[in-house]
Amino acid sequence: MSTQVSPILVGKGTEELFLSPRMANRHGLIAGATGTGKTVTLRVLAEQFSARGIPVFMADIKGDLSGMAKPGGDHPKVTERVRELGLEDFTYGGFPVVFWDIFGERGHPIRATVSEMGPLLISRILSLNETQSGVMSLVFKIADDNGLLLLDIKDLRAMVRFVGDNAAQFKTEYGNISPASIGAIQRNLLVLEEQGGDYLFGEPALDIMDFLQTDADGRGTVNILAAERLMQSPKVYATFLLWLLAELFEQLPEVGDPAKPKIVFFFDEAHLLFEDLSQVLEDRIEQVVRLIRSKGVGVYFVTQNPLDIPDKVLGQLGNRVQHALRAFTPRDQKAVQAAAQTFRTNPKLDTKTAIMELGVGEALVSLLDEKGTPAMVDRALVAPPRSSLTLLTADEFSRIVQRSLLFGTYEKTIDRESAYEILKKKAELSAAESAPPPSPERVTGRGRSGTADLLGAFAKSAAHAIGSQVGRQIIRGVLGSIFGSGKQR
Ligand SMILES: Nc1ncnc2c1ncn2[C@@H]1O[C@H](COP(=O)(O)OP(=O)(O)OP(=O)(O)O)[C@@H](O)[C@H]1O
Ligand SMILES: [Mg+2]
């Protein structure tokens, strides 16, 4: 059918261990304690995907990945590894990196609109409880029903306030909207704004297809999201990455099992994704991970311990690189035991002992064979990286950003008329007329048109703008609406 793509050397144990690009969409796991070599392993995989024309996405949690843009050289650990593995044709090389940054300082700005993110993920970002999330879903629904666009955080704030102020009128059609929930949402919105929520939401929103580029040499772009600052709000970080995954899921067509993935997505600090997660969201994540494979997306979770990841998700991660774990406490020992048991046993290898003994850049490796069966686990030295382990200088960095084909696409924000502007105009107008507030019976009992009356002529001015939003919702509906509007709880 499609041409064979050369296998990726991951490391060398009793023999050389290769990851088959055909199996790369069966997902993976890179685990290990701090300083054991996870980031270098991620980098080595990313380089080799890129070299085969496969774009990748990763978050740069510690700010130690920018050197991927330039060739390495003379790093003692790297030259030592080249020698240990006897890699005769090893060459250094830089890769086509595209830098992204929610705060717009360390790369192209990257944003989502509030409505794209949907009530479920927004509720997660805001740490809302179940009742409050229910109210958030209603806020989205009322906005949808009235053609009010939710683009940025001030739209959401205005909309929440509008719904709160008119809770009595909305009650018949939408159900109870308690002032306590509205108050909690408003407080959490303030916290989010302090954490940089203003940067996160707005337009132009990311077109996820911009991740899926190749350079003039046919190499996949290496998309690096600056995450040092973002990590100060771990929930925002994890939810934003989840949204990126959901976008990939929704935008990419079905491709079955291709010769190589369309993109590989590394989810670093993956434990954050699963921390105190609601069952609904956990199920959805499990669903996304399961279904995204046939869209040609490989997801690689990077975390300290495999036990950070729910069993149902862990069971789907076919390609595994387990670096050393420490076993100081009884709890650690249990984790080591459990991690050891996730591998297909190798009679010649005591995985439990090995996990505790592994050196830096050494790992227990089990990759899927051509039939999709996990190979027997082997203790291996991970291949060395080709790019530089030193950071880019400020000059090198800004040159890359400015020469990027995407430069200019996201740099300037646009603020078109949306919920905030429309609700503001409405408030100004009714203040000017000093008209009494709309009477409840005019509004209630008449469903949608009643609410539209409440908004007066302003809903019409929004009508031109809703086309795209409605279109998106229909698309989401067809694709199963993983995190979109409408699904509550
Ligand atoms: N495969 C490798 N080849 C050569 N050197 C390696 C390899 N893996 C790790 N090293 C060396 O070990 C150092 C630490 O590795 P790395 O940064 O990947 O650890 P980590 O597990 O990501 O740590 P942290 O949890 O602190 O982020 C690297 O800077 C490099 O010098
Ligand atoms: Mg690291």
Ligand nearest to the backbone CA of 43: 1
Domain boundary among 346, 370, 403: 403
Return the residue whose CA atom lies nearest to atom 13 of ligand 1: 37
Domain assignment present for 286: yes
The enclosing domain of 321 has a CATH number of 3.40.50.300
Ligand nearest to the backbone CA of 388: 1
Q: Once rounded to an integer, what is the mean pLDDT over residues 228-250?
A: 93
Helical (H) or strand (E) element with 185: helix 179-194
Statement: residue 217 has pLDDT above 50: yes
392 C-alpha vs ligand 1 centroid, how far in Å? 18
The b-or-e profile of 181-211 (16+ CB within 10 A means b, else e) is bbebbeebbeebbebebbbbbbbebbebebb
111 C-alpha vs ligand 1 centroid, how far in Å? 31
Q: Is 7 helix (H, G, I), strand (E, B) or coil?
A: coil
Write the CB contacts of 435 (distance below 8 Å, at least 6 apart in sequence). none
The answer to which of 318-332, 424-438, 442-456 has the lowest mean pLDDT is: 442-456
**pLDDT (0 to 100) of residue 438:** 54
Q: Once rounded to an integer, what is the mean pLDDT over residues 27-40?
A: 97
User: CA angle, 27 as apex, 24 and 31 as ends, to 5°?
Assistant: 115
389 C-alpha vs ligand 2 centroid, how far in Å? 12
Domain assignment present for 249: yes
Whether residues 79 and 212 share a domain: the answer is: yes
**pLDDT (0 to 100) of residue 197:** 87
Q: Is 265 helix (H, G, I), strand (E, B) or coil?
A: strand
Count the Cβ atoms, other than its own, within 10 Å of residue 230: 25
CA of 75, closest atom in ligand 1? 31
Q: Once rounded to an integer, what is the mean pLDDT over residues 266-273?
A: 94
Q: Once rounded to an integer, what is the mean pLDDT over residues 229-233?
A: 92
200 C-alpha vs ligand 2 centroid, how far in Å? 25
Whether residues 272 and 352 share a domain: the answer is: yes
Domain assignment present for 452: yes
The answer to which of 286-290, 357-361, 449-453 has the lowest mean pLDDT is: 449-453
Statement: residue 461 has pLDDT above 70: no
238 vs 462, higher pLDDT: 238
Whether residues 94 and 37 share a domain: the answer is: yes
34 C-alpha vs ligand 2 centroid, how far in Å? 7
- Token pair 């304690």 is found at 33
| 56 CB-side CA count, 13 A | 29
**pLDDT (0 to 100) of residue 115:** 93
Domain assignment present for 412: no
> Distances from the Cα of 108 to the Cαs of 99, 174, 180, 225, 355, in angstroms?
6, 40, 38, 9, 39
Whether residues 96 and 123 share a domain: the answer is: no
Identify residue 109 by its one-letter amino acid code: P
CA 466 to CA 469: how far, in whole Å? Answer: 5
483: pLDDT confidence band, cut at 50, 70 and 90?
low
Ligand nearest to the backbone CA of 40: 1
Domain assignment present for 411: no
353 C-alpha vs ligand 1 centroid, how far in Å? 21
Pocket test of ligand 1: the residue of 39, 47, 90, 272 to mutate, having most ligand atoms within 8 Å of its CB, is 39
Q: What is the pLDDT of residues 413-439, one digit of tens each?
A: 999 999 999 999 998 988 887 655 555
Q: Are β-strands 222-226 and 319-322 bridged in parallel, bridged antiparallel, or unpaired?
A: unpaired
**pLDDT (0 to 100) of residue 437:** 54
How many DSSP H helices and E strands does the chain contain?
Answer: 19, 12
Whether residues 431 and 462 share a domain: the answer is: yes
Q: Once rounded to an integer, what is the mean pLDDT over residues 127-144?
A: 95
Sign, Cα dihedral of 190, 191, 194, 195: negative
Statement: residue 479 has pLDDT above 50: no
- Token pair 């059918």 is found at 1
Whether residues 250 and 123 share a domain: the answer is: no
The answer to which of 142-146, 239-243, 277-281 has the lowest mean pLDDT is: 277-281
Q: Once rounded to an integer, what is the mean pLDDT over residues 164-183?
A: 95
Domain assignment present for 156: yes
**pLDDT (0 to 100) of residue 477:** 36
Range of the domain at 396: 8-110+206-403
**pLDDT (0 to 100) of residue 436:** 54
> How many domains does one find in the chain?
2
Domain assignment present for 448: yes
**Pocket lining for ligand 1, CB < 6 angstroms:** 32, 34-40, 62, 77-78, 81, 360-361, 382, 384, 389
Q: Is 136 helix (H, G, I), strand (E, B) or coil?
A: helix
CA 487 to CA 416: how far, in whole Å? Answer: 27
Q: Report the candidate in 74, 72, 76 with the shortest Cα–Cα distance to residue 361.
A: 76
CA 262 to CA 296: how far, in whole Å? Answer: 5
Whether residues 93 and 122 share a domain: the answer is: no
Identify residue 296 by its one-letter amino acid code: G
Pocket test of ligand 1: the residue of 40, 44, 48, 379 to mutate, having most ligand atoms within 8 Å of its CB, is 40
Write the CB contacts of 8 (distance below 8 Å, at least 6 apart in sequence). 18, 19, 20, 21, 24, 45, 48, 49, 52
Q: Which two tokens stand for residue 117?
A: 């993110």
Statement: residue 467 has pLDDT above 90: no
**pLDDT (0 to 100) of residue 450:** 44
Whether residues 429 and 283 share a domain: the answer is: no
Q: Once rounded to an integer, what is the mean pLDDT over residues 227-253?
A: 94
Domain boundary among 380, 403, 426: 403
CA 63 to CA 393: how far, in whole Å? Answer: 12
The answer to which of 238-247, 258-267, 332-341, 449-458 has the lowest mean pLDDT is: 449-458
Q: Once rounded to an integer, what is the mean pLDDT over residues 472-484?
A: 44
Contact, 255 vs 291, CB < 8 A? no
Domain boundary among 344, 373, 403: 403
Statement: residue 76 has pLDDT above 90: yes
Sign, Cα dihedral of 152, 158, 164, 168: negative
Cα–chain center distance at 164: 31
Ligand nearest to the backbone CA of 33: 1
The residues that bridge with 60 in the sheet, in sequence order, are 226
Q: Is 320 helix (H, G, I), strand (E, B) or coil?
A: strand
Q: What is the mean pLDDT of the chain?
A: 89
Whether residues 270 and 386 share a domain: the answer is: yes
42 C-alpha vs ligand 1 centroid, how far in Å? 10
CA 128 to CA 112: how far, in whole Å? Answer: 19
Statement: residue 454 has pLDDT above 80: no
Record the pTM: 0.89
Q: What is the pLDDT of residues 368-416, one digit of tens each?
A: 999 999 999 999 999 999 999 999 999 999 999 999 989 999 999 999 9
345: pLDDT confidence band, cut at 50, 70 and 90?
confident
Cα–chain center distance at 350: 35
- Token pair 């051509």 is found at 370
Whether residues 249 and 197 share a domain: the answer is: no
Q: 204: cis peptide before it, omega within 30°? A: yes
Q: Which two tokens stand for residue 398?
A: 């800004």
Share of the chain above pLDDT 90, in %: 79
Whether residues 422 and 301 share a domain: the answer is: no
Whether residues 140 and 267 share a domain: the answer is: no
**pLDDT (0 to 100) of residue 469:** 47
